[in-house]
Structures are given as structure tokens and as C-alpha cells.
Structure 1
Amino acid sequence: MERLSGLDASFLYLETPAQLMHVCGVIVLDTSTMPDGYAYPSFRDELDRRVRDVPEFTRKLRKVPMGIDHPIWVRDQHFDIDHHVHRLALPSPGGYAELVELTSHLAGLPLDRSKPLWEMWVIEGYHHEDTEKVVVFSKMHHATVDGVSGSNLVSHLCSLEPDAPPMEQEAPGSTEHEPGQAELFARGVVGFATRPLNAVRLVTPSVQLVAKTIDRARSGTAMAAPFNAPRTSFNGTITGHRAIALADMSLADIRQIKNATGTTVNDVVLAVAGGALRSYLDDRDELPQSSLLASVPVSVREESRRTGGANKVSALFAKLGTDTDDPLERLQDMAEANRNAKEHHQAISADSLQDWAEFAAPRTFGLAVRAYAGLKLPERHPVVHNLVISNVPGPPVPLYFVGARIDGLYPLGPVFHGAGLNITVMSNRGTVHVGIIACRESMPEVEDLVQRFPAELAALKAAVAGRTEPTPIKRARSARKKKDASGSRADVR
């Protein structure tokens, strides 16, 4: 038995038929590496064997009476792999278009909360580069995983060689205690009674944080502020329909740009995303004068003092430079802004979001989200942020999923009312896989956006190759700031 943290439970409370809170992944497999070849029955049976040793795959929710505390995880004593692993085949001709159409539909289906909160759809008949591959479309609820833990969870089903056993994972206990209703209620009452004391404890550091943020804003070193984003066509009330698009970029090119400019991989990814969004909106006469604002999830797993809970994340806000035409200048501005944002974020307690999330109330959250969407409030108030962009660490070595080599690993996060677009990237075997998911009504041409990522990377690489400065961007930018401070024209971008 394990109680959900407030942050984990919040993803349950925020979920509606339109705002689904599961995390998806498109895993493209080369089955030619499987020692005994591919056959669905044996593939499913091996998955069954492997997931039974991983608690996140075999636990389900149990509510606390009267909803006075967050739910708990209990082991599903009647776990059945056939409730979670399903078989499909792509319609002819079985190409990329058919794959994204099918996965878009599957992404819009909710998970069954009476069972462990995950599904895998084994999709056969995918033809890619003159070879036939198998695709696994996975779905796990955000209450169970965040970006990093989700990546780690997939790795527990994988091995480093086609015929090697999966990576070790601690097996769940067979005599796990499952509490009765009276015990659950008593535990909930204790938690409910101590919440006011915990709230008082959080007030002082929160007030201090606000004061420090104001000081940073005055000095120009604060991260970008929410509720200050321009409105676009994908910033409104969403529906339950989803659109998915996938693309690849060269990790070597990204690293080459990073090394030449003294920036980071994340800086380069955000700059490329900004360029792709700029051209996409400009071609539709929708480009705002001010920059789009992204919410960027940040893992605090190593800094957190909490031992429980699946989600150990915070977030920072970053402007994407969509108001800047030159790709190198966009990267330059973004690198400096990201350094300020990271310093600002590091000043915030790693557990602050999780601490405040403990006060999330199931009924209050659920009613609030439904009222928020029903009244179309996302169209009425200032835009909090335009989209979510995540950069999830990928496996540094080739992995084999039930013996099949992983050729593609495209992560897909949730979309929200007010921000109907999510971009997630993950590296794998020298390639950066880009997964984009959007509300279909908000962004019906998501394929047009994703195809701009490789083009923007190429434009940035060409700009870096053609620049004449002998110093990396990071140092050149600092020199320019010193010049501005001495009386020259200031950079106001």
C-alpha cells in the first residue's frame, strides 16, 4: 500500500474527457533482432512476465472514503495482461500517415481507472524504409510516471542485448497489506487534521520566494513570467480529439552547434522549436509580435527530499524567440535567458510544488476544471503559457524491447485547456526523436509543424558555420552586455 502524493493525485483530479492526463509513447521496433523471431502470442507472454516484476504495472487505485485524503495504490490481485496489451494491424498501405492517424485516435481514449493505469497497443504491419516493423503505442497515467520515471520504466522492460534478461527491478512483496475501509478513513482523518499545520509551515518560505522573485525581476535576471504570453490559435479550450506527428533530428548536429556556441543541448532544442513555431505561425499570418512562452518541465528527482511519489518535477518558463528572425541570434538570446531561468529555478525549493500540491482536493479540483472548460475561461483571461516543451533524457546505448531493437522512441505528453500543444524530444542511438501532440481542433496541421524541426536545425547549423565571431556565443554575449553598460545602445530584445 502506498498513498499517492498530492502532485500525483492532482493529475487524477485535473482529468476530464477532454483533458486526458496520460503520457504516451510511440516505440518503433526492429523485430529482426529477436532470437526466435516475432510472434504476437510469445511477445505478449514475455511482456506479461516482465511487467509482473514492476510495481507500477501491477498496482491500481483505491479511493479513501468520502475523499478526505488522496487515493492509495494497492496491488491488483486479479491482474490480467489481456486487459492492458492489445493487438492491432495498420490498414494498407501501412505507412507513416496510417500510423499517426491510428495513434492519434488511441491517444484520445481514457484509461480504465478500475485497473492498473497503463495500456500498450502492439501495432503490426508498419512499413518504414522498405522494411516492416512493429510499433508499440504505450499509455501510462501521469499519476504513475513523469518524464524521467516513464523513461526509466520502459528501460526496465528492455535489455542491453537481444537475448539478455531485462534490467533488474525490485519485485513487489507478495504479502502486501491492503487496508480496510475503516483504516483508510482513519488515516485520511489524520492527514486532513494536520493539513493546516503544514500550510502554516509553507507560508514563510513562499513569501520569501515572492520577495526574491521581485528583486530578480527588477534586476532583469528572473525567468519569464506566466500570464504574459501572446494568444494563438492553440491557446483555448480543448476537446478530447488528438493529433500526433513525429520527426527526427541529428544529435550530432545539435551537439556540434552546442559546442561551437558554448550553449547547451536544451538551448539548441528550444531555439529550433522557436524557429519552427515562428515559420509555422508566420505562414498562416498568425505570428504574434511578442515571443511565445513555453512551460518547460524540470526534473527535481536528485534534489528532492521526498522518498515517495512518482512525479518529482517542477517547471520553468522560457520565451522561445519567435519574435526573432535570425536563428543564431535567437539561440544567443535564449541561452542567456535560460541561464537566468535556471538560476532563478534553483533558488526555488525542489519540493515546493509537491508540498503545495498536498492541499489539492478531489471534488474541488474536478468541479473547477469542468467549470473552467464549460465557461470557456481559457479564451477570457491572459494566456498563462502557449505550450509545453520537454526534453527527456534518452538511453545512451541501444536497447532491446523484448528482444526487438528500439529504432524510434517518441514521447508524447498531455495537453491542457489554454495550451493545446505539447512538444517532447528524446535522444536514442544518435537521433533526437521529436513527438508532437495537439488538440486536433486547435492545431489540425500538426504535421506541417513537426516537419519544420529538421529544417530549422539545418538553418541554425548553417548560421553557426557562417558566423565570423571567434568566440562562443556565451562569451560574445557577455562582452556585448559590458559594452551596453558602458553607454552603447542597449539590446532590448
Structure 2
Amino acid sequence: MDRLSGLDASFLYLETPAQLMHVCAMIVLDPSTMPPRSDGGEGYEFTAFQREIERHVRDVPTFTRKLRRVPMGLDHPIWVRDKQFDIERHVHRLALPAPGGYKELVQLTSHLAGLPLDRSRPLWEMWIVEGYDDGKIVCFAKMHHATVDGVSGSNLISHLCALEPDAEPMASGTGEQHSRDVGSRELFVRGVASRLSLPVQAARLVGPTASGVGRTIGRARAGTAMAAPLTAPRTSFNGTITGHRTIGLVDVDLGHVRAVKQATGTTVNDVVLAVTGGALRAYLEQRGELPESSLLASVPVSVRDSSRRSAGANKVSSLFARLGTDTADPLERLRDMAERNRNAREHHDAISADSLQDWAEFAAPRTFGLAVRAYAGLRLAERHPVVHNLVISNVPGPPVPLYFLGAEILGLYPLGPVFHGAGLNVTVMSNNGRLHVGVIACRESVPDAEALVAHFPAELDRIRAAVAADEQGLPTINR
């Protein structure tokens, strides 16, 4: 029986019509690299493309399983095979209106990102968008967070991608099997047993959790703790969200990021966070909304390598990072960021990798769902201190060209969910020497995502100039 972990199920319980819990990916493709089709045709043709997707995913459980609820909500749902799986319910075709440029693309995909997935079917879909930028096509993919995290989502794409245009996908023939289905009586009995075991599980967690809290207090006193939640300043994207979305995309040179990293003894993640902090500072400054204190970001961290749990799609934890938006000097911001990140990582690593997953087992479907709806309905996100301002993810991607069913991937932009209280998400992914930055937000909170993403290349240039000036002993020019 393939039961959802508590953390996976929590993403189901958190979902409302405004707070959608799927993750998206914008994949820009060059169809000119596609080899001749098996039916003798040349290059891209939608029906053949759809058939190829079906051929590669029909035996992969993540793509062909659906939810089944446990009677009376006694336990988290289970995954069962969708015996009526139909690729036409998951892979759709659209064409951009003229002139088929960036503006039309983000308008269309922003709308698609705001549509919920159908829970009666496997929780994913792809929209193949034709007519983009003089012959390119775009695959806009959506998958529920209950089925993937950043790392597993990246791995799933390997079922459709290869290192050469005419090669089979990298994950072809993995031999994954669906779990057996079970009857309602067995589900009920297992649900009762699970509920009865909760007090024992709670007792086992109290000691390690108390120890972790003690270590956190000690780090706080020593000044080496990560930034604390509920200490973020309020901005225009920290309130109750709607179901509308807006998307912004931009690329920066990964080589430039690595050069800054090398010159300053920092990490790629440090540079990404510092650039994001600078971009947000410039964006808020333009709007006359820059807070005096620094913005606070929640940064998902994969614990896949250290987790004791074998089950569950989501193996993540989170740390909190101040972005230095209160610091004008880009080099000073980066150096402060590097030091704070070292403390945050050490603090994070001192906490059990499975603590979030362990406590998530206690999420009750009905209670959780009612609480989330009451929280949104009462607009409580606007009344209590801000937990964090936004979510920032940095996902490592392929260092070499990849081909999506033969079409070269020119852009790979992940887009995460947004939440009540944090209506902005920034995700960065490396791909063949580029960093692809994807911004998604509640449209009412960030009406023009393009105004934000436009600051990313400019901010990286400012950091590079500051590093060059520092190496020559010249003063840094501040904004």
C-alpha cells in the first residue's frame, strides 16, 4: 500500500482555491533538433509528441496514480493506479496569439498556473504551447506538491529527456511498480491503527524536539542561530492572496555567478541569495516600499541524502535567511549573506533531517483544511507578525544540453507555490551554463513580475563590478 507521508498529504490539506499547491515548470524547446518521427514525418507534430509522452510515462507510477481517501479521513490518503489513465486528459495543446512573444507567453501561463488540478485523476498536466518566438514551442508542466519536491521533480524530467536528440530518455526502463490496491475494510482498519499509534509517536518526538529547541536557544545566545521566523517586515506581498498568478522569467550567466563565488570565497547559493536580495531592494525602492529592516526568506533544503525515511515524495526541510535588503553595498551584502548562511546551515544540520516529516504525520485532514480556510477567510495573514516574506529555491540542473523528446531545452524555469502571508516565490535553476530565474506571485500582490525579474541581471552586474573594484582597491559605488 502506497500511503502518502504526512508531509506529502499536508500539501493537499493546505490547498484552497486561492492557495494552490502545485509546482510548475516552463520548458522552452527548440523543435528544429528533433529527429525524423517513426511515422516518417519530420520534426514536431503535436499528436506524435503526445503519443511519445504517453509511451514514456504510462509505466511510471508517479504519472499514472491517483488519490484514494481513507474512510472517515482516519489516515492520510493512499496512491492507487488510475485504470482509466488517458493521456488526452493530461497533455493539451494551445497556440499563442500574435505576435507570440514573451508578453503573450507569460500572460497565458500565468492564467494556467492559477487553475487547480483535477484530484479525480493523476495530479499532473502539460500544456504544449505552440507559436512562441519564431518557431519555438513551450511545455508548461504542472504537478502537485504532494507528488514531488524540487529534487524529485527534477528527476522526473529524466523520463522525457536525453543527452542526445535521438537517444532514449535517461530514466527509460526503470522498472518502477505500482503498489497494490486495498479494500475499504483494510483501509479502515489501517486508519484506526494509525490513529491509535499517534500518542506513542508523539512521545518519541518530544525528547529530540526539546533537545533541538535547547540547542537553538544556545545558538541564539551565541549569535550563530539562523534568522527567526515571525521577524520579517511587512511588504505588499505579505497578506491574503487570491487565485490569480503572475509570472516573470529571466536568465543570467552561470559563469558570472561562479566567478563572483570564486573571487569572494562564497557559494553559488550565497551569490543567488545576494542577487535576489539586491533585486528585491531595487524593486521595493522603486515602489517606495523598501522596509528599514531586511526581508526574510524561507529557503527549502533537501534532506534526501540524510533522511531515514524511504517513503514519501517530499524530503525537504527549510531554513530562514535574511536577504540584506537593508544594505546598499552589494559586496557587503554578499559577505554578510555568506556568514549568515554558514551559521544557518550549521544550525539546520544540527536539527534532525526528519523532524518536519515526523511532526507532519499529525496533520489531520479535516482539522487542517478547516483551519486553512478560516485563516484565509479571516485574513489572519494581515494581522499577525510576518512569518517570512517569500520563498526562494535554488535547484541544481544539468550542466550539459538536454533534449526533451528530441527538442533541445533552451530554458528551464521552475515555479513554486505561493501562500497566504507570502505571495511571492523565486526559483532559480541551472541549465547548461545559464541560471534560469522563475518568479511567480499573486497578481494582486506583485502586479508586474517583469519589473522584479528585470533587476536580477542588473544586480549581478553590480556585484561583479563591486568585486572588480574591490580587487583593484577602488571604492564600491553604491546605489
TM-score range for the pair, normalised by the shorter chain length: over 0.9
Superposed CA offset, 1:377-436 (max 9, x none):
001000000000000111122111111111100000000000000000001111100000
Who is 2:387 aligned against?
384
Amino acid at match of 1:123: V
Return the alpha-carbon distance in structure 2 between the equivalents of residues 135 and 436 of structure 1. Answer: 17
Who is 1:473 aligned against?
none
Paired residues for 1:145-184 under 5 Å: 145-168=148-171, 169-173=173-177, 176-184=179-187
The answer to whether the 8 Å contact 2:394/2:429 transfers is: yes
Superposed CA offset, 1:88-108 (max 9, x none):
000000000000000000000
Who is 2:477 aligned against?
none
SS at match of 1:458: helix
SS at match of 2:197: helix
The answer to whether the 8 Å contact 1:160/1:399 transfers is: yes
Who is 1:28 aligned against?
28
How many angstroms does 1:11 deviate by?
0.1
SS at match of 1:467: helix
SS at match of 1:124: strand
How many angstroms does 1:160 deviate by?
1.1
Superposed CA offset, 1:428-473 (max 9, x none):
1111000000000011011100010000001100100110489xxx
Amino acid at match of 1:354: Q
Superposed CA offset, 1:31-83 (max 9, x none):
01100201011100000000113210001000000000000001111110000
Who is 2:12 aligned against?
12
Aligned residue among 83, 88, 93 for 2:89: 83
Q: Is the alpha carbon distance of 1:314 and 1:173 closer, same or farther for their aligned partners in structure 2, counting shifts above 3 Å? A: closer
Q: Which moved more, 1:377-386 or 1:45-54?
A: 45-54
Superposed CA offset, 1:182-213 (max 9, x none):
01101111111101100000001111111110
SS at match of 1:305: coil
Amino acid at match of 2:34: M
Paired residues for 1:297-446 under 5 Å: 297-446=300-449
Superposed CA offset, 1:317-370 (max 9, x none):
000000000000000000000000000000000000000000000001100000
When the two structures are superposed, what TM-score results if normalisation uses the length of structure 2? 0.96
Amino acid at match of 1:60: K
Return the alpha-carbon distance in structure 2 between the equivalents of residues 199 and 126 of structure 1. Answer: 53
Aligned residue among 198, 202, 208 for 1:199: 202
Who is 2:111 aligned against?
105
Instruction: Let me know the Cα RMSD of the aligned residues.
Output: 1.0
The answer to whether the 8 Å contact 2:19/2:242 transfers is: yes
Return the alpha-carbon distance in structure 2 between the equivalents of residues 154 and 334 of structure 1. Answer: 32
How many angstroms does 1:171 deviate by?
3.1
How many angstroms does 1:284 deviate by?
1.1
The answer to whether the 8 Å contact 1:14/1:365 transfers is: yes
Paired residues for 1:39-118 under 5 Å: 39-118=45-124
Return the alpha-carbon distance in structure 2 between the equivalents of residues 177 and 387 of structure 1. Answer: 40
How many angstroms does 1:172 deviate by?
3.9
Aligned residue among 274, 281, 285 for 2:288: 285
Q: Which moved more, 1:117-126 or 1:51-60?
A: 51-60
SS at match of 1:204: helix
Q: Unpaired segments of 5 or more residues in structure 1?
A: 471-493
Return the alpha-carbon distance in structure 2 between the equivalents of residues 406 and 468 of structure 1. Answer: 37
Aligned residue among 449, 454, 465 for 1:462: 465
Return the alpha-carbon distance in structure 1 between the equivalents of residues 368 and 359 of structure 2. Answer: 14
Superposed CA offset, 1:110-146 (max 9, x none):
000000000000000001xxx4200000000000000
SS at match of 2:252: strand
Amino acid at match of 2:24: C
Amino acid at match of 1:121: W
Return the alpha-carbon distance in structure 2 between the equivalents of residues 82 and 338 of structure 1. Answer: 45
- Number of residue pairs aligned between Structure 1 and Structure 2: 466
Return the alpha-carbon distance in structure 1 between the equivalents of residues 227 and 139 of structure 2. Answer: 37
Return the alpha-carbon distance in structure 2 between the equivalents of residues 259 and 469 of structure 1. Answer: 16
Return the alpha-carbon distance in structure 2 between the equivalents of residues 69 and 173 of structure 1. Answer: 23
Return the alpha-carbon distance in structure 1 between the equivalents of residues 191 and 472 of structure 2. Answer: 63
Return the alpha-carbon distance in structure 2 between the equivalents of residues 137 and 106 of structure 1. Answer: 9
SS at match of 1:328: helix
The answer to whether the 8 Å contact 1:53/1:170 transfers is: no
Q: Which moved more, 1:148-157 or 1:420-429?
A: 148-157
Return the alpha-carbon distance in structure 2 between the equivalents of residues 52 and 304 of structure 1. Answer: 29
Aligned residue among 263, 267, 272 for 1:264: 267
Return the alpha-carbon distance in structure 2 between the equivalents of residues 110 and 183 of structure 1. Answer: 31
When the two structures are superposed, what TM-score results if normalisation uses the length of structure 1? 0.93
The answer to whether the 8 Å contact 1:55/1:171 transfers is: no
The answer to whether the 8 Å contact 1:276/1:452 transfers is: yes
**4+ long deviations beyond 6 Å:** none
Q: Which moved more, 1:406-415 or 1:390-399?
A: 390-399
SS at match of 2:135: strand
Identical amino acids, percent of aligned pairs: 74
The answer to whether the 8 Å contact 2:293/2:326 transfers is: yes
